[in-house]
Structures are given as C-alpha cells and as structure tokens.
A and B are shown apart, each in its own frame.
Chain A
Amino acid sequence: MSVLTIERKVLEKNDDIARRNRELFAANNLFVFNLVSSPGSGKTSLLEQTLKHLNGSVRIAVVEGDVQTDFDAQRIAKFNVPVVQIVTNGGCHLEAKLVHDALANFDLKNVDLLVIENVGNLVCPANYDLGEAMKVVVVSTTEGDDKPLKYPGMFHNASVLIINKIDLVPYVNSNPDMIKKNALQINPALKIFETSCATNKGIPEWCEWLRSQTKKCGG
C-alpha cells in the first residue's frame, strides 16, 4: 500500500469560481448578497418590497434560484429590473458556476446591487460560496424561535439576519427576542432587522442599510 497526500478542500472548484465571480463584482463596483432561508420565509416578498423602495435610485439586478418554475422571476420582472431565473431541476442549492453563467445575461456596468435569491433551504446553501459579499438569512416568526439553533451552519456564515413576518407575532406565539438571542449565540456579529412585507415595518431601515452598503462598493 502507498499513500498519496492530497490535503485539498473538497469544494475548491466551487471556491475558485466563486473567487472569479467576486473579482468580477469588484471590477464592476457591485454590491452582491446571497439571500437564503427555508422555503416560505418570504425571500421573494422581501425582495419585492426592497425593489419598491429602492427601484429608481439604486440599479438592481436579480438572480433567482428555484428547484422548479420561473414564478419568482416573473414576480421580479414586474418591477422592470433585469432578472435571470436559474432552475436547478432538483438541485438543493445554487453553485458558483450556475451564478457565473447567469451573469452573462446582465450588463454589470449598469448594475449597483445584485441580489442572488438562493433555493429555499437552510442546509446546503451554507456551504457554497457564490462570490457574494455576504449572506443575508431570513427567518420568519412562523417558523419557530429555535430555528438558528437547529440550523447553526447557515447562521454562522451569514452577516445579516432578517426576522420577517413580524406582524404575525401576536398570532403565532413567537418571541423575536428569543430568535435574536438564539441567533447571536451562534454568531454574535449578526446585524439584525425586523420586517413585515404586509405592513412595511422595518423595510425602510433595511433598504437604507442596503443603500449604504451599495454606496460603499462604489455603486
């Protein structure tokens, strides 16, 4: 028997493409975030509210990831922003290569903010770097306050936590302070917003923060 020493990261191929994506984003002064959550937390609704608030003052483009259908891209297209739908056909997450290929559809010079909405899944997308500046994780109040402790990997890797459907708190026995406490136990550096896409609560604060991040990147 002989042993070949390898010592290579299993996902290094994905990481290499992610690095190339990141270089491309930097060259175009783009702020890019990767929007992740479990299915049904309100990622697309949050994106719609964000577009309502920022469209016209920030040039936004969107990559939508779903297992099947282009329903989300249709919703985003109503705001007249460039959008590409990636259908993974069963794949549970987006990979850097899929995003890289989708980028060919955009005129990146004329974009300030690129949003990548990942497949609804709190497990696998945590492991795949897409080249984004940060991951934004959405948890809704209907999902259980212990979500961050159940899926710590994603909360480790995220920079921002959005607690969505905050208007439903009185009906679903949720305590947003408990969600925050649990999330901060996993990742004390998380920046946290509370939002409701039904009442618009917290949307302006989130959008203004996004605007400031976009400006920092030169957009």
Chain B
Amino acid sequence: MHELSIAENIVEIIHQHVEKERLIDVRSVRVKVGAFSGVVADSLEFSYQAITAATPLEQSFLSMERIPFVVLCEDCKEKLMNDDGVTQCLSCGSYRTKIISGRELQVKDIELEDAEKELV
C-alpha cells in the first residue's frame, strides 16, 4: 500500500505546474500506469481522492492510462503482451528479451477548465 505516497507525489507535481489560484480549475490529471509499475489503480484513485478532499483540488480526478507489459524477443523478434510479468519469450522460450513497456508511472498531462478565458 504505497499508493498514498504515490498520490502525494502526484499532488506535489500538480502544485509545481499549476499556479495556486488555478488549482481549483484542475479537472483531470492523466497518469500513465504500467501493468508492471506495482501500483494498484483503484487504490491510487482512492488515495488521490482522500488527500485532495477539502483542498482546491477537490474537484479534480485521476485518469489512469494503463500501459501493457510488452516484451520483445531478440531471437525470434516476437512482441509479447504478458500481464504476469514473465520476461522469458513465450513463443520460442528464449531468455534474450527486452522489456518495451509496462514499468511506467508518469504524470502525462493536466487538464484545466476555462484556461483559454484566463489566458486572453
């Protein structure tokens, strides 16, 4: 259960990119979560709601973009999506594989309401 500390890190990143008076306009925060990032999406969502309650970010929510765990076999060149985290090639049995994606844990972007009006 380290999702709470992950949520705290996300809030900190939001604070670094959005001016204090605009925090209230933040609607969604898109987070890339790899299938293999060790993060439980539901717990992260719950933690985020819990720590932003009664703060200017109260109206915002996390939007999770799930990234599959993909392994590329350097021998048979097969690309395999493998949600159980096995890196051995399931096609030819080779151990010479590379993890292409699935470890991500990244804040992708932040969506703000009425930003155009403010900018004019």
Q: Are B36 and A10 in contact (CB under 8 A)?
A: no
Nearest Cβ on chain A to B9's Cβ, whole angstroms: 5
Q: Point out the residues of chain B lying under 8 angstroms from A93, CB to CB.
A: 2
Nearest Cβ on chain A to B36's Cβ, whole angstroms: 6
Q: Are B2 and A156 in contact (CB under 8 A)?
A: no
Q: Mark B82-120, 1 if CB is under 8 A from A, else 0.
A: 001111100000010001000001111111111110010
Q: Interface size bucket, B side? A: 35 or more
Q: Are B111 and A5 in contact (CB under 8 A)?
A: no
Q: Between A and B, how many residue pairs show CB distances below 8 Å?
A: 95
Q: Which B residues lie at the A interface, using CB under 8 A?
A: 1-2, 5-6, 9-10, 12-13, 17-18, 27, 31, 36-39, 84-88, 95, 99, 105-116, 119
A2 beta carbon closer than 8 Å to chain B? yes
Q: Point out the residues of chain A lying under 8 angstroms from B5, CB to CB.
A: 91, 95
Q: Mark A1-20, 1 if CB is under 8 A from B, else 0.
A: 11111111111011000000
A185 beta carbon closer than 8 Å to chain B? yes
The number of residues on chain A lying at the interface, defined by a beta carbon within 8 Å of a beta carbon of chain B, is: 31
Pairs A-B, 3 closest by C-beta atoms: A152-B85, A2-B115, A188-B95
Give 20 A-B pairs besides A7-B107, A13-B12, A188-B87 with Cβ atoms closer than 8 angstroms. A1-B111, A2-B119, A3-B109, A5-B108, A6-B109, A7-B106, A8-B13, A8-B106, A8-B107, A9-B106, A10-B6, A10-B106, A11-B105, A124-B38, A127-B105, A149-B84, A149-B85, A156-B85, A156-B87, A156-B99
